[in-house]
Structure 1
Amino acid sequence: MGLLEQASRVRTRMRGMSILDPDGREVGRSTEATFSSGRLDSEDLEVLREDLVRMVHEHTRAGVEYLFGDSITALDEDETGVRVDFAHGPSRTFDLVVGADGLHSTVRRLAFGPEEHFAHHLGSYLSVFSADNFLALDDWQVWLRGGDTGFGIMPVRDNTELRIAFGFESVPLAHDLRGGGALRQLVVDKLASMRWEGTRLAEAARTAPDFYCDAMAQIRMDPWSRGRVTLLGDAGYCPSPLSGQGTSLALVGAHVLADCLARAGGDHRTAYARYERRMRPFVTLNQALATENPGGPASEESVAQAKNALSLDD
């Protein structure tokens, strides 16, 4: 996409990490790898999500129509296209519809059925949010686990901010708890009960403008396409953040889907079938990274196998 140089300029640059016990005492450290990005001498780039989104948007907005603040409410397909109804804008007809709308995909629900048919809960929830660097971390991560909760904290933006990833084991939560501020309050309460920095972490979660929390789950379905509708990224094959590969699968999937459509000469059936044949083995290996070693990272060998399991030139 021509973004490598730009991505390299904004990559995270960690020196290493510390592993802490529940009282904040260091029980291990590494200057060779971190849990968030793997080996520090790797050619892989770790980029903040918001930076990647900004780069892709800036790179594509001149030739792509973006509609913000709207959502799809219905799909109606015939032999010529798909009529899409929107919550706010007028209905429009498109040749094809690609659902790339995440774990809780509306396109998937409308085209394939309820989410519970495809979502597989992995036994935990993850919250991610920002805070000022009140720990004075200097290109250094800290990780802590206590009982059924734990977190990883990394400094970003030239060490001026923190990104805090807090996880806790849980069965699937009731739907009414996932909405509004109930889930945030649950995270705040769990953080407040932690012995090391619980008070400041809880306050950061309570006030963060970018607070996010969701189940660690995978989407497993066969096939990914129905008629003129197909699915991409988390909507079709979410590996969960536990794999570390969600964004990679989405970007690779977009490249492969575009290539298959270009080669098919307008025959979406052929394109969709080829897209799935090429992507499914790659998806399977990457999803397995999240379940190989529950509570810890997958092996370096498995990661290397998964990320190199597909050729973009196929």
Structure 2
Amino acid sequence: METNEPRRVLVVGMGISGMATARRLRLAGWQPVIIERAPARRLGGYFVALFGAGRLAAERLGLLDHMHDRKSLQQGVDIDRSGKQRPGLNYADLPGQPWLLLRSDVEQAAFTALPDDVEIRYATVPTAIEQDADGVDVTLLNKVTGISTTERFDLVVGADGLRSTVRSLVFGPHEKFVHRMGYMIAAYEYAGTPSGLAPGVGATFLEPNRSMWVYAFADHDPTILLTYRTDDVDAERSRPAIESVRAAFGERAPEVLADVLDNLEASDNAIFDSAEQVKMDTWHQGRVVLLGDSAWCVTLYAGMGVSAAIAGADLLGTMLEQRPDDLEGVLTDWEQGLRPYTTFYQTNAYEDRGFFVADNWLQILLRRALPTLGKTRLGRRLIDKMFHVEGVITYKSADILDEVLGGSRHHHEEPQVVHRPRHSAA
């Protein structure tokens, strides 16, 4: 019996990838339900980059109008252990002309763009997922009331991050897919300007196997990244973040680093975790598909987490709109088309990791020479080679939707739904 009811899709995870997916699938005529483990939106404000691949997809999804490039045009500085400052590189100096933003900028843009009729349920997690040829039965637990219910959906999208519950329920335990890089990451939003720096000036502190980054913005307080190598991730996690980070960076810190560490200790918005990638042979099983970090986490060293998530959502929704009755074929072709890009991003993360945290003093000395080298033609060619400019153009700046679908894509017609800016989770 035919029905005109829209297909239901459960989107697990209300991060950027989840909201972008819900937005695009609603435009394709699906009826999304978003569930989120947390009791409210996650508003963390750490640094993110948005490369061309992400901006093109964000523009199609209606997100780009709600954010802007915050990059500071001031020269960055490099700081040594004695506190001496010299000209340094900013992240914006990398090839590809990435937009520099806060995660909260992109999160707010995605939230604002959500159609008003997209249902959102906080403090809710899936505890069981069973599927047959015609649909998926998902048991949902409300963590506040303790009540479980089972609902049926036509599709389940796991956009619930590195340690995805959907992935563990359907594909297997985390240990099967999560690969540690051997580095720790602490990040937080700094209120004001770090001691020893001028407003709008970014900074790096580089020593073998450890580094500090101050990401400065033109119109916002900076964010901080501290990253270092470890041979024992579990031991690092077993202590309070500040204890692990202070031990990794040693005593006699220069003024800027000392202030950054003091503010990390006082911060209530810091994240502390290990750099880990997700590698899977397939991202879908039947009517369950993973998207974003849950499927292909590339780590921040690639700079493509947000861009890949938005581009993946854009491509998936477009393909489902074009072929609404070929779910298995769409999921297979979507994965086949997107995988070369995410594979490059993951490989590139290992290559670019040295830009964030060097292995030895030789790499650091070369980094310090880059601002001078960049003033010459030969130096710029060397920099282009170091930072894989051809790959950046091919993969990070690509219009993934256009390259995967070519002439077969078409512009979607937005369904008649109400769009109202959402400024709170209420």
**One of 46, 63, 88 as aligned partner of 1:3:** 63
- Contact 2:72–2:216 (8 Å) recurs in 1: no
| Paired residue total | 305
Query: Does the residue aligned with 2:70 lie in a helix, a strand or coil?
Result: coil
Offset of residue 251 of structure 1 = 0.4
Query: Does the residue aligned with 2:308 lie in a helix, a strand or coil?
Result: helix
Taking the aligned partners of 2:84 and 2:310, their CA distance within structure 1 comes to: 39
Amino acid at match of 2:203: V
Taking the aligned partners of 2:135 and 2:184, their CA distance within structure 1 comes to: 38
Query: Does the residue aligned with 2:185 lie in a helix, a strand or coil?
Result: strand
Offset of residue 37 of structure 1 = 6.2
Amino acid at match of 1:277: Q
What TM-score, normalized to structure 1?
A: 0.88
CA RMSD of aligned residues (A): 2.4
* 1:115 correspondence with 2:174: yes
Amino acid at match of 1:300: V
Residues 166/21 of structure 1: CA separation in 2 closer, same or farther (3 Å cut): same
Residues 212/157 of structure 1: CA separation in 2 closer, same or farther (3 Å cut): farther
Q: Residue in 1 aligned with 2:125?
A: 71
Offset of residue 293 of structure 1 = 4.2
Taking the aligned partners of 2:100 and 2:87, their CA distance within structure 1 comes to: 23
Taking the aligned partners of 1:111 and 1:172, their CA distance within structure 2 comes to: 29
**One of 257, 269, 277 as aligned partner of 1:218:** 277
Q: Residue in 1 aligned with 2:350?
A: 291
**One of 208, 222, 227 as aligned partner of 1:162:** 222
Query: Does the residue aligned with 2:311 lie in a helix, a strand or coil?
Result: helix
Q: Identify unmatched segments of 5+ residues in structure 1.
A: none
Offset of residue 310 of structure 1 = 4.9
Amino acid at match of 1:210: N
Taking the aligned partners of 1:92 and 1:230, their CA distance within structure 2 comes to: 17
Offset of residue 124 of structure 1 = 0.5
Amino acid at match of 2:292: G
Taking the aligned partners of 1:46 and 1:306, their CA distance within structure 2 comes to: 18
- Contact 1:192–1:201 (8 Å) recurs in 2: no
Residues 182/6 of structure 1: CA separation in 2 closer, same or farther (3 Å cut): same
**One of 293, 301, 306 as aligned partner of 2:395:** 306
**One of 193, 206, 211 as aligned partner of 1:145:** 206
Q: Residue in 2 aligned with 1:229?
A: 288
Residues 264/290 of structure 1: CA separation in 2 closer, same or farther (3 Å cut): same
**One of 91, 97, 119 as aligned partner of 1:35:** 91
Offset of residue 285 of structure 1 = 1.5
- Contact 1:191–1:202 (8 Å) recurs in 2: no
- Contact 1:172–1:215 (8 Å) recurs in 2: no
Amino acid at match of 1:143: T
- Contact 1:289–1:303 (8 Å) recurs in 2: no
Taking the aligned partners of 1:285 and 1:245, their CA distance within structure 2 comes to: 10
Query: Does the residue aligned with 2:119 lie in a helix, a strand or coil?
Result: coil
Q: Does 1 or 2 have the higher relative contact order (CA < 8 Å, sep 6+)?
A: 2
- Contact 2:183–2:230 (8 Å) recurs in 1: yes
Taking the aligned partners of 2:252 and 2:327, their CA distance within structure 1 comes to: 53
* Structure whose alpha-carbon radius of gyration is higher: 2
Taking the aligned partners of 2:301 and 2:348, their CA distance within structure 1 comes to: 8
Alignment of structure 1 residues 1-314 onto 2, 5 Å: 1-8=61-68, 11-30=70-89, 34-35=90-91, 38=94, 44-88=98-142, 90-132=149-191, 133-135=193-195, 136-156=197-217, 158-159=219-220, 161-174=221-234, 178=237, 182-191=240-249, 193=251, 195-197=253-255, 198-296=257-355, 298-313=387-402, 314=405
- Contact 1:75–1:82 (8 Å) recurs in 2: yes
Residues 119/36 of structure 1: CA separation in 2 closer, same or farther (3 Å cut): farther
Amino acid at match of 2:308: L
Larger deviation, residues 239-248 vs 286-295: 286-295
Offset of residue 68 of structure 1 = 1.8
Residues 149/211 of structure 1: CA separation in 2 closer, same or farther (3 Å cut): same
Offset of residue 222 of structure 1 = 1.0
What TM-score, normalized to structure 2?
A: 0.66
Amino acid at match of 2:125: S
Calculate percent identity across the aligned residue pairs: 26
Taking the aligned partners of 1:140 and 1:293, their CA distance within structure 2 comes to: 23
Query: Which digits, 9 at most, give the CA deviation of each residue in 1:231-286, with x for residues without a partner?
Result: 10111011110000000110000011111211222321011011011101111122
- Contact 1:127–1:214 (8 Å) recurs in 2: yes
Offset of residue 312 of structure 1 = 1.4
Taking the aligned partners of 2:122 and 2:208, their CA distance within structure 1 comes to: 41
Offset of residue 178 of structure 1 = 3.3
Offset of residue 46 of structure 1 = 1.9
Q: Residue in 1 aligned with 2:55?
A: none
Residues 292/146 of structure 1: CA separation in 2 closer, same or farther (3 Å cut): closer
Larger deviation, residues 259-268 vs 110-119: 259-268
Query: Does the residue aligned with 2:120 lie in a helix, a strand or coil?
Result: coil
Amino acid at match of 1:139: G
Offset of residue 27 of structure 1 = 4.0
Offset of residue 199 of structure 1 = 3.5
- Contact 2:135–2:153 (8 Å) recurs in 1: yes
Residues 103/182 of structure 1: CA separation in 2 closer, same or farther (3 Å cut): same
Offset of residue 152 of structure 1 = 0.3
- Contact 1:142–1:154 (8 Å) recurs in 2: yes
- Contact 1:263–1:271 (8 Å) recurs in 2: no
